[in-house]
A = this chain, B = another copy of it.
Amino acid sequence: MIEEGERLVLVLGTREYYVRAGEGTLSTDLGMLDLASLIGMDYGGIIATHLGKEFVVRRPRATDFFAHASRTGAPMLPKDIGMVIAYTGMNRNDDVLDAGTGSGIAAIYFGGIARQVVTCEVRPEFAKKAEKNIRDAGLENVEVRACDVLEADGEYDVVHLDLGVREEHIAHAYRLVRPGGYLACYTPFIEQMSAAYDAAANLFSEVHTYECMEREMTRGSRGTRPSTRVGHSGYITIARR
């Protein structure tokens, strides 16, 4: 049952609105929606505009937060977050350390899977915005810390680094990862990737660096073809303790 203040996505065809239950009235080109009436509804229910146009009420998923959450920069792409999840085997028993939080999208993904996520963001204003996104996602197992990851302590099954990585980050991650656990390090540039690889190879075992070149396939009236855009985003270095 939907509670006051909860984030929702209202959908009609290709129209999508990212709203908060209870917050006044939303004007759309198909009429006005009373957002207070969302409170107490079930997910998947219908809310109609004053013109009778019906929107489906969607409980947002990580994909919706990727699309709609407020951003402090370019977040990691789902394809890369998926690589981290898959190559670490992230699961419900895991304690995860995530740094730098950025907009908090990776933390939202991880928080939906792992037992507990601690996410460190050194820039206080980024941490604040990420905190807000993560609260919107209703994740009570994700803790945002406005600090340098080098200050983090504890034990983790997965440590994920998406920051201007230096050797000391890798060394610190090594101390925090449980035996059998993983480091995953995202680096857009080759020089960073090489440095991260070398630092990881000195400490961890099973060190591999991957790039996921994602390509969308397009179907049109003239036929099927790969999209003319393939996105490079970054390299993912996976290392196991």
A interface residue numbers (CB < 8 A to B) = 9, 11, 13-14, 43-44, 56, 58-59, 61-64, 66, 78-79, 81-93, 109, 112-113, 178-180, 188-194, 197-198, 201, 205, 208-217, 219, 222-235
Contact = CB atoms under 8 A, between A and B. Distances in A.
B205 A211 contact: no
Contacts of A78: 83, 86-87
A208 B216 contact: yes
A210 B217 contact: yes
Contact of A190 (B112, B190, B198): B190
B91 A223 contact: no
Contact of A113 (B91, B215, B229): B91
User: Could you say which of A84, A91, A191, A211 has the most chain B C-beta atoms within 10 Å of its C-beta?
Assistant: A91
A240 to B, nearest CB: 8
A232 B224 contact: no
Nearest to A218: B209
B86 A81 contact: yes
Contact of A223 (B191, B226, B230): B191
